[in-house]
Structures are given as C-alpha cells and as structure tokens.
Amino acid sequence: MIGPYRLVAFLGAGGLGMVYLAEQIRPVRPQVARKIIKAGTDSKRVMARLGAQPRTLARIEHPPIARVYGTGRTPNGPPYFVREYLKGLPITRPCDQHTLTREQRLDLFLHVGAAVPYAHEKGILPRDLKPSHILVTIEDQEMIPKIVDFGITHAMNQSLTQGTPHAEKGDLIGAPE
C-alpha cells in the first residue's frame, strides 16, 4: 500500500519510471496504472519538471488520451502519477497480429493523430510519442488506440509551468533509446 493505492502487478518500465497495476482503495475506483519515478533520475530539476507533468496532463480530456487521475509521492520520496488503466498492447503489435492493411493501420493512426493537435490546443507539446506509449484495446471487435504517455512534455503555456525549470541545451530527460 502506498497511500490509497494497493499495487497489484508490475506492468513495465521506461526511461524514467516503473508502471504498476494498482487498485485505489479510498475512494473506490476501478484499477489504475501507477507510474513511480525511478531512483537515480530524481535530480531537483528533473523532479520539478516531472512534478508539473501530471498536473498538466490531468487537464486533458480527449478520447484517444488516457486520463490522468492524480499525483503524489511515495513514503521514500519519488513522485508518482495515476492514470487510467488500459488492458492493451503497443499499437504495432495488434497491427501485426491482426495483419491489418495499410488503410486500417492509417485509420488507427488518424485516431491518435487527432489527440496531438488537441494537446497543442491545451498548451502541451508531446516529446516522446512512440508505439509503446500508444496502447490498443479491443472493444466489441473494434481496435481503440489511446496515448498512455507523452514522455516528458513541454508546456507551451507559461501558466502551466510557472516555477518549473525548463530543459536547457544538453539536458537529457527521459528515455534516450
């Protein structure tokens, strides 16, 4: 248990954090995904940027973007954020498994593409869209893509980043690969 969340299973890891399936006990919410920032990536500059990211993403409500529910800190300090849990696969896997045609793949991509200008309208510049950050779920035999991670976002609206350090030339934040 960390706060109102009980960790259920490890889902994966990226450049900055580990993602777990979790259950929120108080208030009761369906299963969620919880990303905990990895130790060693917690410089003051990185932590300040990551601290603002969940608050920024929580402002976004768009069907192809997973909802961010909240943020917090673990007892030993690293921050975490909680988002909608999606039981899905990175977008390239269902495309290959179901041998989708070029047109079907482009249709999935167009759904994802609609989310990017929406994020821009909200003042957010995604910096790390890649297949592992876009999960596809299947509901009623329809493939539904959702962005679950924008990477380290850049807020284009100064009110979103007030008091948050900006990346400097040469700063490496995120997953280099």
Strand order in the sheet with 142-147: 89-90, 134-139, 142-147
pLDDT of 41 over the 80 cut: no
pLDDT band at residue 76 under the 50/70/90 scheme: confident
Share of the chain above pLDDT 90, in %: 20
Q: Kindly state whether residue 164 falls inside one of the protein's structural domains.
A: no
Could you tell me the CATH number of the domain that includes residue 16?
3.30.200.20
Mean pLDDT, residues 64-75: 81
Q: Kindly state whether residue 170 falls inside one of the protein's structural domains.
A: no
Cα 65 from chain centre? 9
Q: Using alpha carbons only, what angle is made at residue 53 by residues 73 and 127, rounded to the nearest 5 degrees?
A: 135
Are 79 and 93 in the same domain?
no
The least confident of 17-21, 143-147, 148-152 is: 148-152
pLDDT band at residue 141 under the 50/70/90 scheme: confident
The more confident residue out of 103 and 124 is 103
Number of domains composing the chain: 2
Rounded to the nearest integer, the mean pLDDT of the chain is: 77
Strand order in the sheet with 68-73: 5-13, 17-24, 29-37, 79-84, 68-73
Widest CA span of the chain, in angstroms?
48
Structure tokens at 136: 């596809």
Mean pLDDT, residues 49-54: 56
> What domain range includes position 32?
5-86
Q: Is the peptide bond before 64 cis (omega within 30 degrees of 0)?
A: no
Are 51 and 40 in the same domain?
yes
Q: Kindly state whether residue 123 falls inside one of the protein's structural domains.
A: yes
- Confidence at residue 163, expressed as pLDDT on a 0 to 100 scale: 47
Q: What is the pTM of this model?
A: 0.75
pLDDT band at residue 98 under the 50/70/90 scheme: very high
Mean pLDDT, residues 24-31: 76
Q: Kindly state whether residue 42 falls inside one of the protein's structural domains.
A: yes
Mean pLDDT, residues 162-166: 46
Q: What is the pLDDT of residues 1-14, one digit of tens each?
A: 777 888 899 998 87
